[in-house]
Amino acid sequence: MKNKPQKPTFREEEILWKKGFNYIIGIDEVGRGAFAGPVVTAAVIFDPKKCSQDLFLEIDDSKRLRSLKRKTLAKQIKDQAIFWEISTKSVAVINKYGIGKATNMAFRKSLSSIVKLLDREKPYVLVDGFHVRYIRGVGLKHEKAIVKGDQKSMSIAAASIIAKDHRDRLMKALSKRYPRYGLGRNKGYGTKEHQMAIKKFGLTRIHRRSFKLQRFLAP
């Protein structure tokens, strides 16, 4: 019998609340590995006492949720979180600086926007996967990177949901401008369908040339 997938909890946040941190920011990114479109980051702060407990029963890693469920949860998260912020970095930025640096730039933008609202009270940041350096007003001492954080931390999972919902809507809009690439379905990721479309129709302005996608072009 298979074990049920791990669902996010407030276990990490509760440890930090007990240490006196009033603001725990969960952050995550979406679109880092895609062939096309922007990278999107989101940051979320919860106060569980001010939220519906039903919401927390529904939140999960965004990749395990259907599109309509993500859309519903994204609205509820935005309505009930103390603060939330979404940032994007364009394909032009990704091509110029590389995906790693572009993602960190988006993270820092999301976080700095929230930190400014906290009346100089130092927050603690929980991030999915890896540390984000040079966050003004935070520092690495007040940050924890959690492997598969969107499956463990409620705040990170919530950030992953609003980031993915936002990026999916962006990609659906781009699919209308570039209908040959199936972006509404593949969201810019390198599916077989997408690779074949690149081979047949070439690269567009929204493709990440820094990913060396020329290898998929017809010889």
Q: What is the CATH number of the domain that holds 35?
A: 3.30.420.10
Q: Is 132 helix (H, G, I), strand (E, B) or coil?
A: coil
Terminal Cα distance for the chain, rounded: 49
- Name the domain count of the chain: 1
In sign, the C-alpha dihedral spanning 177, 169, 91, 216 is negative
Long-range contacts of 70-79 (CB under 8 A, 24+ apart): 70/161, 70/164, 70/165, 70/168, 71/165, 73/161, 73/165, 74/161, 74/162, 74/165, 74/166, 76/52, 77/44, 77/158, 77/161, 77/162, 78/162
Domain-located, residue 201: no
Residue tagged 């209308």 (tokens): 176
What average pLDDT does this structure show over 160-178? 97
Residue tagged 């919860």 (tokens): 46
Q: What is the DSSP string of 37-58?
A: S-EEEEEEE--GGGS-HHHHHH
Task: Please tell me the predicted confidence (pLDDT) of residue 135.
Answer: 75
Domain limits at 39?
A: 11-178
Domain-located, residue 2: no
In sign, the C-alpha dihedral spanning 118, 169, 156, 74 is positive
pTM: 0.93
What average pLDDT does this structure show over 71-87? 96
CB atoms within 10 A of CB 57: 9
CB atoms within 10 A of CB 180: 12
Q: Among 5-9, 89-93, 100-104, where is mean pLDDT lowest?
A: 5-9
Domain-located, residue 116: yes
Tens of pLDDT along 107-116? Answer: 999 998 898 8
Domain-located, residue 217: no
Domain-located, residue 211: no
Domain-located, residue 189: no
CB atoms within 10 A of CB 11: 10
Do 114 and 43 touch, CB atoms closer than 8 A?
Answer: yes
Residue 174 has pLDDT above 50, yes or no: yes
What average pLDDT does this structure show over 25-30? 96
What average pLDDT does this structure show over 190-209? 96
Backbone angles phi, psi at 122, to 5 degrees: -75, 125
